[in-house]
Amino acid sequence: MATIFTKIANGEIPSYKIAESETHIAFLDINPIAAGHTLVVPKKEIDYLFDLSDSLLSETMLFAKKVALGMDRSLNPIRTGIIVEGLEVPHAHIHLVPIYEEHQNVSLRNKVEITKEKMAELAATISKEVKL
């Protein structure tokens, strides 16, 4: 069965999309831990990030870099952090998390409330600054 991220990539489930290429997609995490928390996903359905081929892993990191730089330009965090966990969705992905303050609790357990309107605004703002 297709993963939730494949359904998002296929447009079967809506998302706040940030960027897309033939092989990758980035969209806002629906339960963010910071404003602008983004997921980068290779479209190929592989559960564990480190099961990706060397070339796909490299491409995924390079795609994540372009998205992160767009987040830096649009959101002005101190920097954008990266988390890989993969315990919830069995489809490899990288969390990109804007770090706005030095003592921010950067943990996937630290969810924040963001309205749908703000999520749409964040996606539009970030996507304008992502240069693929």
The correct pick among 88, 101, 102, 117 for binding ligand 5GP (CB under 6 A) is 88
Catalytic residue among 24, 37, 91, 93: 93
Long-range contacts of 58-61 (CB under 8 A, 24+ apart): 59/23, 59/24, 60/24, 60/92, 60/94, 61/94
Does residue 4 touch ligand 5GP according to CB under 6 A? yes
Instruction: Give the helix/strand (H/E) hosting 119.
Output: helix 116-129
Does residue 86 touch ligand 5GP according to CB under 6 A? yes
Verify whether residue 37 is a known catalytic residue: no
Does residue 1 touch ligand 5GP according to CB under 6 A? no
**3-state secondary structure labels for all residues of 71-111:** HHHHHCCCEEEEECCCCCCCCCCEEEEEECCCCCCCCCCCC
Does residue 30 touch ligand 5GP according to CB under 6 A? yes
Does residue 74 touch ligand 5GP according to CB under 6 A? no
Residues forming the site for ligand 5GP (CB under 6 A): 4, 13, 15, 27-31, 39, 85-89, 108
**Among all residues, which ones are annotated catalytic?**
93
